[in-house]
Structures are given as structure tokens and as C-alpha cells.
Amino acid sequence: MTSSSLNDLIDLFSKLPSLGPRSARRAVLYLLKRKILIPKLVNSLEEVQANTKFCSICANLDIIDPCTICRNEKRKKDKICVVEDISDLWAIEKSNAFNGQYHILGGVLSAIDGIGPEELNIISLFDRIKNGLVKEIILATNATVEGQITAQYIADHCDDSKILITRLAQGMPMGSELEILDYNTLSTAFKSRSKLDTSL
């Protein structure tokens, strides 16, 4: 291995979320000292790449489409929890706070980053609720400015007045991201969700 290929690997790792150059160097060094892990990692990555797909209903990742959650007959069909990312869905599922459906936006509205409603899975959410079966939309975007703007946008543009639109409220400190909350806080946030006022 040339030092250039080593640097390329470190550079690749440093592009992963939460890994800066220093953590990337440590991760690569860890793998080089435990080379037995490398083929396992490669196999696992290839398997995940080959077998996972996005759910055509909720945009979750799974090995089947529709995903396991959308197919599960035991889950409530009349509640949709709207989250920014799949990692938020994972956090909520681990907390056991919710037993309904999900809808993954794939991000948040951001004027600075040029992300408008068309860049997110918002239209597909509105299409989903046209069947009249959905009674509640729970907006579980992060408690950040963008998360709140996105939640308000969805609430304001949901033109079915019979649907209750709620937002995770208490227990979500301002600026907090859903996936870092502990499960008790997340569970409390679900139980204490409140109706979101809309401009319509």
C-alpha cells in the first residue's frame, strides 16, 4: 500500500458523518491493526449495497419494498410520524414510543442550502394522506430552526382539515436532534405531543 492509497482511505473515512480527519485516521489505523475485520467489513458493505432499497411508500431503507414497517398489519395505519432522516426512525423504533407508520422527508427545508419542498419527500406525504385513512400526522422533525420551519410548512400545506397535526413538544430541548435523545425523553415527547396551529 502506498502512502497515497492510505491517505485516500483516510480521506474517504473523514467524509463520513461525525468523523473528522483525526477520527478518520484513528479508524483506519484501528482497521490496519486488526486486518481480520477488513474482509468482514467489505462483505458487509457489499451485502448492504446489493440488498437494501428505499421503501416506495415511506422512504425507509429495508431489504423489501414496501418495507417491514409499512407491511406490518399490527401497526396503526391511521398515524404517520414524519421524520427528517432514517436515523430518526431507528431512534423512535428503539424507544418503542410509536406503533404507527412513518414518512421520511430526507432532510429539512433550508433557504441557505437551497432546499425547497421539491427536494424533500413532502408531496409524497400529501399524496399518502389522500386515501382518507390517516387521522393524525405527528411532526417529529428536530427541534432546530429548520426542523420547526419544515414542520410548520407541512402543517400549513396539509389541506385535509380532518387530520390532526401534532408536534413533539415537551421534552425536546430547543436545538436538540431526535436521534441523540434518550429513549425516555423520546417516549415522553411522544406522549406529550400537542396540536400544531396552522395558518389555514
- For Zn ion, the binding residue among 6, 19, 31, 57 (CB under 5 A) is 57
**70 part of the interface to Zn ion, by CB under 5 A:** yes
67 binds Zn ion (CB under 5 A): yes
Q: For Zn ion, which is the closer residue by CB, 52 or 170?
A: 52
Stretch that binds Zn ion, among 20-28, 53-61, 78-86, 116-124 (CB under 5 A): 53-61
Beta bridge partners of 137: 80, 165
Which among 65, 110, 60, 68 is positioned nearest to 85, based on CA atoms? 60
User: Residue 75 Cβ, how far from Zn ion at the closest point, in Å?
Assistant: 10
In order of 66, 80, 143, the CA distances from 99 in angstroms are 17, 10, 22
Within 13 Å of residue 142, how many CA atoms lie on the same side as its CB?
21
Longest dimension (CA), the chain: 64
The burial class, CB within 10 Å (0-12 / 13-18 / 19+), for 127 is exposed
27 vs 57, beta carbon nearer Zn ion: 57
- For position 92 contacting Zn ion by CB under 5 A, the verdict is no
86 part of the interface to Zn ion, by CB under 5 A: no
Closer Cβ to Zn ion, 61 or 149, answer by number: 61
List residues binding Zn ion (CB under 5 A).
Answer: 55, 57-58, 60, 66-67, 70
